[in-house]
Chain A
Amino acid sequence: MSLSRLLERLLQLIPVLLGVSAIAFLMMALTPGDPVQIMIGDQSITPEQEAELRRGLGLDRPLLERFFIFLGNALQFDFGTSFYHRRPVSDVIAERLPATIELSLVALIVALVTAIPLGVLAAIRKNSILDRLATVGSLLGVSLPGFWFGILLIMLFAVHLQILPVSGRIGYSSEVSTITGFLLFDTLLHGDLPAFGDALRHILLPAITLGLPMTAILMRVTRTSMLEVLRQDYVTFADAKGLPRRRVLFRHALKNALIPTVSVAAIETGSLLGGNMIVEAVFGWPGLGRLVVESIFLRNYPLVQAAVLLYAVTYVLLNFIADILYTVLNPRVKL
C-alpha cells in the first residue's frame, strides 16, 4: 500500500473520531439531572458558591462551546474530576486500564490458541465427527451469553471442583507491589513464581469467558479459509510433487489460510471491549468495564463519558489497524 493511500485513510478517520466524540459528549450533556447538584450531594452551599461551581465546570456556556472545550481537554487527556473519587478522571481510568488490557490480551491468546488448531483440524478432516463437533461448538459459542457462561464456569470450576478462584485478580497472600499494573508481568518481574501462578489462575476463567465468542468466530473463519486454500492448484501441485502431507499443510496451505483469520482477529479484538463490561461484572474483575457500570449507578457522568470516548476511539483505531493489516497481508486487496 502506498504512503499516500495510507495518509488518505488516516484523514478519513478524522470525521469519524469527531463524530464519535460528539456523540460521547452529547450522551452526557443531554442526560437529565444537574451535574452540579450531583456533585454537591447532601452538602449545603450558598447560591453564589453553586454559581461559581457551575462557572468552574463551564456549564454556563453554550453547548457548542462546551463541546470544543471538551474536545480540547480530551486531546490532553483531561476529562475533568470524578464526582465520586474526587480525583481526575484520567487518573482513575489509568489505574483500572491495565487490568482490562491484560484480560483482553489473555482472552485474545486463548482464542487464537484454541481456534486456529481446531479450525485447521476441522478443515483437514472435513465431515468427520471432529468437524461436526467444531461446527456445533462454534454455533454454541456465538449463542451463549457471556454472563451466563461465566457463571456456569464459576459453578463448575470454583464452587464444585474448587480448583480455580471465584473472583478478583490475585489472592491477598500473593499481592505484589505495582510496577506496570499488569499483574502477570509484575509477578514475574518480582521473580515471584507462586504469585504468577496465582494471577494466572485468577485470569483463566474470565479470559475463557471473554474469548469464547471470538474463538467460535475465528474457528469458523480458519476452517473456511483452510478449505478454500486446500482446493487451490498450488496445493494440489505440492501434493503431486510428492511433498509430505504435513509439509504441504503447514508450510504451503496454512500460511495463506491464516490471512483472513488474522484480519478477523484484529476486528474481533475491538468487540472484546464490549464483552469486558459483562465479564468484569461477573468475575469481580477490577478493570475499566466494571468501573463504568459502577459509575453509571453513582451518576458519575464525567467518568462514563471519558470511558465511552476511550472505548470508541480504541475501537475505531483497532478497526483501522485491521483494515491496514488485511491489505498488507493480502496484496491482492486494494484499500
Chain B
Amino acid sequence: MTDATLTHTPPADSLFRRNLRDFRRNRLAMASVIVMLIFVIMTVAAPLIAPHDPNQTDLFRRLQPPAWIDGGDWRFVLGCDGLGRDILSRIIYGARISIFIGVVVIVLATGVGILAGLAAGYFRGWVDVVIGRVVDILLGFPYLIFAIGLMAMMGPGLVNIVLALAYKEWVIPCRVVRGETLAVRELEYVEAARALGAGSGHIMWREILPNIMSPVIVVSTIRMANVIILEASLSFLGLGVQPPTASWGSMVSDGRAFILEAWWVSTFPGLAIVLLVLAINVASQGLRDAFDPRFSE
C-alpha cells in the first residue's frame, strides 16, 4: 500500500460526522430538537420560570379563563384549574415528571436491553433461548395492561412507575441489539479480534457495541415518545404520580369534570404532551433517516 492511499483514508469518525451533518440539514428535525430543548430547560429551570407556585390554591381564581378571554388575567396566562392553581406553572412543573420518567425509563431499559441482547446474540445457545423466552413472555402482554397490573401490585409513586414501565421496555432494545449482534459477530473484524486473542467481554464491548449503536439510539428515541404517553396514561387513570404533584396526565383527568364550563383545564396540559411527543417523533424520524437509512421509507 502506498503512502498516497494512506493519506486518503478517511478518519474513523467520518461516517458519524456525515450522518450528523445530514441530520442538521433536516430543518424539521432541527426545529423539533429546539422544541425538545425548550422542554428540557423548562424541566431544569422550573422554579425560576414558573410564574406561580404550582400547588398554590386560590378558590377566588377557580376556573379562571386564559388571559385572552373575558375574565382572564395576564398574570395567569393559561387560566386556572378547579382549585384555582395556575395552569401554566403546573404544566412547567409537570414537564419534570414526563421528561424524568421518559429519560430514566429509556436509559434503564436500554442499559438492560444492551446487556441482555449482546449476551443472547454473542453467546447464542442456552443463553439466547432463556433470554428469548423471557422476551416472548413479556411481549405477550399488551404494554398498558402489564404496567397497570404492576402498578396495582406496587401502588402508585414515581419509582414504581419507572419500574412498571422499565420491566417491559428493555425487551425492545434487547431485540434490536440481539439481531444486530448476530449479524456483526460473523464479520471479519470481529473474527480478527478473536484471532488476536481478545476475550468475549472485549469483543462485545469494544468491537461489537460501538458498531451497532446507531439503530439502538434511533429505537430508544422513538420509544421515549411512547413511554411519555404511557406515563401520562397511567397518571390519567389515577395510577401514576399522586396529587398534588403536577403531572400532565392527571391534569387532563382533573379537567374532565369541567369540560362543560372550562375547556382550558384539560386542553393545555394535553397540548403540552402532544407538542413534546410530536417533537420527539419528528426528531427520531430525522435521526433514523440520517443514521439508519435502512429503515427509512
Contact = CB atoms under 8 A, between A and B. Distances in A.
Contacts of B152: 27-28, 31, 296, 301, 304
Contact of B273 (A24, A148, A155, A296): A148
B156 to A, nearest CB: 10
Given A27-B152, A143-B225, A270 B274 contact: no
B22 interface: no
A278 B237 contact: yes
B237 A277 contact: yes
B150 A27 contact: yes
Nearest to B151: A296
A147 B137 contact: no
A273 interface: yes
B66 to A, nearest CB: 15
Interface in A109-144: 139-140, 142-144
Contact of B278 (A32, A143, A312): A143
A20 B141 contact: yes
Given A16-B137, A145-B233, A140 B278 contact: yes
B137 A145 contact: no
A146 B249 CA distance: 11
Most buried by B among A19, A147, A281, A315: A147
A152 B145 contact: no
Interface in B125-162: 133-134, 136-137, 139-146, 148-153, 155
B171 interface: no
Interface residues of A, number: 50
Contacts of A281: 236-237
Contacts of B33: none
B259 A154 contact: yes
Contacts of A20: 137, 140-141
A172 interface: no
Interface string A286-307: 0000001100110001001001
Contact of A308 (B137, B139, B149): B149
A155 B258 CA distance: 10
Contacts of A301: 152
B145 A308 contact: yes
Contact of A312 (B141, B155, B237, B273): B141
Contact of B141 (A15, A23, A139, A275): A23
Interface in A246-290: 270-271, 273-275, 277-278, 281-282
Interface in B153-203: 153, 155
Given A16-B136, A23-B137, A312 B145 contact: yes
B281 interface: yes
Interface in B235-284: 236-239, 249, 252-253, 255-256, 259-260, 263, 266-267, 270, 273-274, 277-278, 281-282
Contacts of B70: none
Contact of B259 (A151, A277, A293): A151
Interface string A168-190: 00000000000000000000000
The size bracket of the interface on B is 35 or more
Contacts of B134: 19
Nearest to A139: B281
Given A19-B133, A142-B281, A304-B152, A147 B249 contact: yes
A31 B229 contact: no
Interface in B72-111: none
A221 B219 CA distance: 18
Contact of A277 (B141, B148, B249): B148
Contacts of B146: 308, 312
A278 B144 contact: yes
Nearest to B152: A296
Given A19-B136, A146-B233, A315 B141 contact: yes
B295 to A, nearest CB: 11
Nearest to A160: B263
B232 interface: yes
B3 interface: no
A24 B236 contact: no
B137 A274 contact: no
Contacts of A155: 259, 263, 266-267
A27 B153 CA distance: 6
15 contacts: A19-B133, A20-B137, A31-B153, A140-B278, A145-B249, A145-B273, A155-B263, A270-B142, A271-B143, A274-B143, A275-B144, A293-B238, A297-B238, A315-B141, A319-B139
Interface of B: 133-134, 136-137, 139-146, 148-153, 155, 225, 229, 232-233, 236-239, 249, 252-253, 255-256, 259-260, 263, 266-267, 270, 273-274, 277-278, 281-282, 285, 297
The 8 closest A-B pairs by CB, nearest first: A19-B137, A148-B270, A274-B144, A274-B142, A296-B152, A143-B278, A31-B153, A20-B140
